[in-house]
Chains A and B, each alone.
Chain A
C-alpha cells in the first residue's frame, strides 16, 4: 500500500467513492429528471392527470412510483459504468502523461483500493436516484396551465437538482396530491331523485369571484346542459362537482355522498359510479404512460 504512488490512489479513491456517482447523478438529473418534469408537466397541462383521477387512479401510484423505482434500480448500474469509464480514462492518462504502463497502473490500483471503496460510491446511488425522481416528479405536478410553465419548471428543477443532489430536504415536500379526505359519510340522501346536490357554492380565483352562492340540483336520468360565457366557470363547476377542485364555501353531494368530506374509500366507490370525459377526451391519457 505504501508503495502506491499518490496519483493512482487519488484517482481510484476519488472516482470510485465520489466522482463516479456524483457525475452519473448530475447527468441523470439533467437527462431523466428533466424528462420526468416534462412528461408529468405535459400531462398536467393536457388535463391527463385530472383524467387519471376521475378514473379513480392515484397519480402518485401511476406516475411517480414507477419512475422512482426505475431510477433507483438503474442509477447504481450507471454508476458502475461511470466508475469503469473513469478508471479507464485515468489509466490512459497516467500512461500517456506519466509513462506508467496499463498493467502497472492496474497493479497499483489494486493496492490502493478495496472492494469497499467501490461500494461506498455505489451505495449512494439509490439515494441520489430517489432525490432526482422525487424532485423531477414534484416539479412536474407543479406545472400549471401553459407549455411555458413546463419549460420554466423543467429548468428550475434541473438547477435545483444539481444544487441539492446531496441534500434530501425538498424530498419531504413531495407529498403533493393526497387530498385530506377524512370523515366518512355514506348515508343515502333523503330523496333518491336528486343525484347531484350543490348548495351555496363559492369559488374564487384570487380576488375574482367565479361562483357566488350557487345552488344546483341534478335529477336522476336527466341531461343537464351548462352554458355560460367564457370565464363564467362552466368547467370549474364541473371540476368542483367531481372533486378535482376545492370550493371556497358550500357543499356538494353526489349520489348522497359529500364529495369534500368523503373518506378515501367512499371517494373511490363514488368514482366508480361516475365518469367524466374532459374536453380533451382523454383517450391519449394512459397512452403516455405506456411510452416509458
Chain B
C-alpha cells in the first residue's frame, strides 16, 4: 500500500466519505508533516527512516486526534532528522492544539519540546518540569540529567518557533503554509 492509501485506512474504517475527499485529506496530512507531495504514491519501503516516521505521523493525524502517543519517535534517526522531527511535533502542537504523550530516551527531545517530564524510578513516577528534575536528588535522576550526555543540554533552552536547521527550508515551507488550514481539512 502506498503512503496515501495508508493514511486513508483509518478514514475508510471509521467514516464514509467520497474517494476524492480522502485523497485530498491524505495529501493535506502529507504536507502537514513536511513530506514532499510525491510521497503519496510511494511505498513505505521506498522511504528513509525519517520519512517513514513522518508518514506514520501523517496517518496518525488522519482523524484529527486530540492526543498523540509517541513511543520513541526519534529513535534511530540521525541528529538532524531527530531535531527536525522535534520541531515538527512542536509545530503540530502549536497549530493543532495536540496533547502529546511521549516516551523517549532522547535528551534533546526532552529539552526541546517537553512541557513536563515524568520520570519512572523505583516503580514510582515523578512528574515535574525539567528545572525541577534538574534539582532532584534521586541518584538515578541525577545520573540521567547530570550525566555526560545530560550536562551538555542543561539549562533548558527553547529555541523559538522558527524555520529549523538550514538547507531544509523548501521541505518545511510546505508544513508552515499548510498548518493554519489543517483543522478544517
State how many angstroms separate the Cβ of A12 from the closest Cβ of chain B. Answer: 48
The one of A216, A272, A273, A277 in contact with B71, judged by C-beta atoms closer than 8 angstroms, is A277
Cα A221 to Cα B89 with chains together (Å): 12
B61 x A272 contact (CB < 8 A): no
Q: Does B16 sit within 8 A of A, measured CB to CB?
A: no
A224 x B56 contact (CB < 8 A): no
B119 x A227 contact (CB < 8 A): yes
Nearest residue (CB) in B for A233 is: B120
Per-residue CB contact flags for chain B residues 60-95 toward chain A (1 = under 8 Å, else 0) read 110101111111110100000000000001100100
The one of A209, A229, A290 in contact with B1, judged by C-beta atoms closer than 8 angstroms, is A290
Q: Does A9 sit within 8 A of B, measured CB to CB?
A: no
A281 x B123 contact (CB < 8 A): no
Cα A226 to Cα B116 with chains together (Å): 9
Q: Does B26 sit within 8 A of A, measured CB to CB?
A: no
The one of A55, A274, A284 in contact with B44, judged by C-beta atoms closer than 8 angstroms, is A284
Q: Does B168 sit within 8 A of A, measured CB to CB?
A: no
Listed stretches B17-25, B100-108, B159-167, B173-181; interface member: B100-108
Instruction: Report the count of interface residues on B (CB-CB < 8 A).
Output: 60
Chain B residue numbers with a CB within 8 Å of A162 are none
Q: Does B182 sit within 8 A of A, measured CB to CB?
A: no
State how many angstroms separate the Cβ of B144 from the closest Cβ of chain A. Answer: 7
Chain A residue numbers with a CB within 8 Å of B131 are none
Q: Does A276 sit within 8 A of B, measured CB to CB?
A: yes
State how many angstroms separate the Cβ of B142 from the closest Cβ of chain A. Answer: 13
A282 x B1 contact (CB < 8 A): no
A279 x B75 contact (CB < 8 A): yes
Q: Does A238 sit within 8 A of B, measured CB to CB?
A: yes
Cα A218 to Cα B68 with chains together (Å): 12
Interface range on chain A: under 10, 10 to 19, 20 to 34, or 35 or more?
Answer: 35 or more
Contacts A224-B118, A234-B103, A272-B14 given: A283-B69 contact, CB under 8 Å? no
Chain B residue numbers with a CB within 8 Å of A255 are 66-67
Chain B residue numbers with a CB within 8 Å of A223 are 89-90, 93, 99-100, 102, 113-116
Q: 16 interchain pairs (CB within 8 A)?
A: A56-B14, A195-B67, A196-B67, A214-B124, A223-B99, A224-B118, A225-B104, A225-B114, A227-B110, A227-B120, A229-B144, A273-B65, A274-B66, A274-B69, A275-B59, A277-B70
Give the A-binding residues of B (Cβ under 8 A).
1, 3, 5-6, 9-10, 13-14, 43-45, 47, 52-53, 55-57, 59-61, 63, 65-73, 75, 89-90, 93, 97-105, 109-110, 113-121, 123-125, 127, 140, 144
Closest 6 CB pairs of A and B: A228-B120, A275-B60, A225-B114, A281-B56, A276-B69, A212-B123
**Known A215-B125, A228-B120, A238-B101; further 18 A-B contacts with Cβ < 8 A:** A55-B9, A56-B13, A196-B101, A211-B120, A212-B124, A223-B114, A224-B118, A225-B109, A225-B114, A227-B103, A238-B71, A273-B67, A275-B67, A281-B53, A281-B73, A283-B44, A286-B1, A286-B6
